[in-house]
Amino acid sequence: MSVSAILMMAMWLLSLFTILSLVVLSLIWIERKFLGRLQRRLGPTRTGPFGLMQPVADAVKLVLKEDMLPSWADKAIFWVAPLLVLVPSFMIWVTIPATEGLVVQNLEMGLFVIVALLILSILGILLAGWGSANKYGALGGLRAAAQLVSYEVPLVMVVVSIAILVQSMDLRIIVASQLPLATAQSILGEANQSNVAFNHIGVPLVLIFPLGLVLFLIAGLAEVGRIPFDIYFAESEIVGGPFVEYSGAHWAVFFLAEYINTFVVAALVALLFLAGWHGPLLPPLLWFLIKTYSVILVIYWIRGTFPRLRIDQLMAFGWKGMIPLSFVGVVITSVYRFYDWPNWSLSLMSLTTLAVVGYWMYFKFTRPVIKLARSYGREPGRSRSAR
């Protein structure tokens, strides 16, 4: 490796760092604005036009705050933990392509690497909880380990089903396989001269494998700890969990990693299920951003709508719901691939699974409410004027 190549790599990484910081600022602004609108508020309005400078003000405030070390804390672990969370989140972005050429280093098993690194950040959270010598911190760390280890299984199983579908774990090939055959071949012919074997699908994967999208989004949300699954730093129960003793810049590092990981999940949904950077008229990078930010808005919508789960509900949902369903996903994709069935059969199978599970969950969750309402002598679902 020559000096210029190393310099080039350093430039790439530096620009990646800058871009990701800007992305995080935009995510914070969008979250506050969008969540405000969902709750019939305005969100930040005072700092800059439309409150655009609010995340900058937040960042400056966090950096200027005093960084404190609890006297009982394990010093080395307390300072290493934020790095163990942040470094994997940045490393993930080395392998995620934003467009055909806009990637630091495309890997043959990019998807696998990304999932491995996404899971590595559990370690930092666990150590942060232990190292801060705080009971809330330790509780949060244990909750984090239990939650993240159980939800990484469905995440990995969805990745396995996608690998079965496309016969590749290269993100560029996964995106190309969702395009019309001529386009896919011309793109891959330019990208690498060797004949890459992959299964051509021709439509965005969400159309033939919606089960995978639902499972991936839920498991991804649980993996980054967005709100219905944020039991490991639940503010109202364990006052911030592993991050309770952190302040200032070190707390900001955890925050930064959480937002970057959210963006990773959104970008992966866009790349794996929504045909990535391809779309009519607009340039590829714009399409990638449009799709990713749409997924981000869905994530914030979920955040604004659902209450936090209890820990036993979360584990039951993970082990009794998500994991069997993800295995069903692997089985139906394997059957589809092995017998070479047409595309619509897979979408029919996964839609049927989703419908059955959805109906069952609706039944299970609404029956107690209906019973309760009956015991009060009122029929649910009937408005007051109808009575």
List contacts with another protein (CB under 8 A): 1, 74, 76-77, 80, 107-109, 112-113, 115-117, 119-120, 122-123, 126-127, 130-131, 138, 141-142, 145-146, 149, 152, 167-169, 197
Contact 52, 112 (CB under 8 A): no
Six-digit token pair at 237?
Answer: 């129960």
Q: Which C-beta is closer to another protein: that of 115 or that of 227?
A: 115
Six-digit token pair at 122?
Answer: 């559990």
Closest separation between CB of residue 194 and another protein, Å?
A: 9
Contact 380, 369 (CB under 8 A): yes
Contact 240, 152 (CB under 8 A): no
Closest separation between CB of residue 145 and another protein, Å?
A: 5
Contact 68, 130 (CB under 8 A): no
Nearest to 81 by CA among 114, 119, 115, 129: 129
Closest separation between CB of residue 60 and another protein, Å?
A: 33
Q: Which C-beta is closer to another protein: that of 117 or that of 332?
A: 117
Q: Which C-beta is closer to another protein: that of 99 or that of 199?
A: 199
Six-digit token pair at 13?
Answer: 């990484």
Six-digit token pair at 224?
Answer: 């980054």
Closest separation between CB of residue 203 and another protein, Å?
A: 24
Q: Which C-beta is closer to another protein: that of 115 or that of 265?
A: 115
Measured between alpha carbons, how far is 221 from 226 in angstroms, rounded to an integer? 5
Nearest to 90 by CA among 138, 23, 42: 23
Closest separation between CB of residue 48 and another protein, Å?
A: 41
Closest separation between CB of residue 6 and another protein, Å?
A: 11
Six-digit token pair at 277?
Answer: 């950077």
Closest separation between CB of residue 164 and another protein, Å?
A: 11
Measured between alpha carbons, how far is 273 from 284 in angstroms, rounded to an integer? 16
Q: DSSP 3-state helix, strand, coil percentages of the chain (rounded to 5)? A: 75, 0, 25
Contact 213, 206 (CB under 8 A): yes
Q: Which C-beta is closer to another protein: that of 214 or that of 238?
A: 238
- For 315, residues 6+ apart whose C-beta sits below 8 A from its C-beta are 146, 147, 150
Q: How distant is the alpha carbon of residue 374 from its chain centre? A: 40
Q: Which C-beta is closer to another protein: that of 141 or that of 220?
A: 141
297 CB neighbour count, 10 Å cutoff:
14
Closest separation between CB of residue 116 and another protein, Å?
A: 4
Q: Which C-beta is closer to another protein: that of 59 or that of 173?
A: 173
Q: Which C-beta is closer to another protein: that of 5 or that of 281?
A: 5
Residue 240 backbone zone (phi > 0: left; psi -120 to 50: alpha; other: beta): left
Measured between alpha carbons, how far is 209 from 337 in angstroms, rounded to an integer? 13
Q: Which C-beta is closer to another protein: that of 169 or that of 176?
A: 169
Closest separation between CB of residue 74 and another protein, Å?
A: 7
Measured between alpha carbons, how far is 204 from 277 in angstroms, rounded to an integer? 11
